């Protein structure tokens, strides 16, 4: 069975969705219940800045891969891209 390598990005996309939802819940908690001091604000800022920085570097690594390359899923040669016919 041959599929594009980009199929590996599906779990990442699903996890990113989960990550964003959890982050928004946490940030909402901090904004709602800790707005009376600056600690909550700085925690949100550091978390968002850290996440953005990490995703920026991750994007740099991800974009260097050719995700359109076909992948042959079989028991033998699972770690190879099929050569063009």
Partner 1 sequence: MTLAQLIKQKLYEREVFKLRRHPITFLPHILLLLVLAAIPVGLYYFFAANFPGLLTGQISYPALLILGIIYYLAIWEFFFTEFVSYYLDLWIITNDRLIGIEQEALFARTVAELDLYKIQDITSEVKGIFPTIFNFGNVFIQTAAEEGRFHLKNVPDPHNLRRKIMDLAEEDRKYHVKTGDGAI
Residues near partner 1 (CB under 8 A):
5, 8-9, 11-12, 15-16, 19, 22-23, 25-26, 29-30, 32-36, 39-40, 43, 47, 50-51, 54, 58, 61-62, 65, 67, 69, 71, 78-81
Question: Nearest distance from residue 76's CB to partner 1, in Å?
Answer: 13
Of the candidates 15, 16, 35, 36, the one whose C-alpha atom is nearest the C-alpha of residue 27 is 35
Smaller CB distance to partner 1: residue 65 or 85?
65
Q: How far is 10 from 39, CA to CA, in rounded Å?
A: 36
Alpha-carbon gap, residue 57 to 15, rounded angstroms? 17
């Amino acid at each position: 069975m041959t599929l594009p390598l980009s199929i590996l990005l599906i779990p990442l996309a699903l996890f990113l969705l989960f990550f964003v939802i959890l982050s928004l819940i946490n940030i909402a908690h901090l904004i709602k219940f800790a707005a009376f001091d600056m600690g909550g604000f700085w925690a949100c800022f550091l978390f968002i800045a850290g996440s953005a920085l990490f995703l920026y570097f991750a994007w740099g690594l991800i974009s260097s891969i050719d995700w359109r390359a076909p992948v042959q899923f079989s028991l033998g040669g699972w770690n190879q891209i099929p050569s063009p016919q």
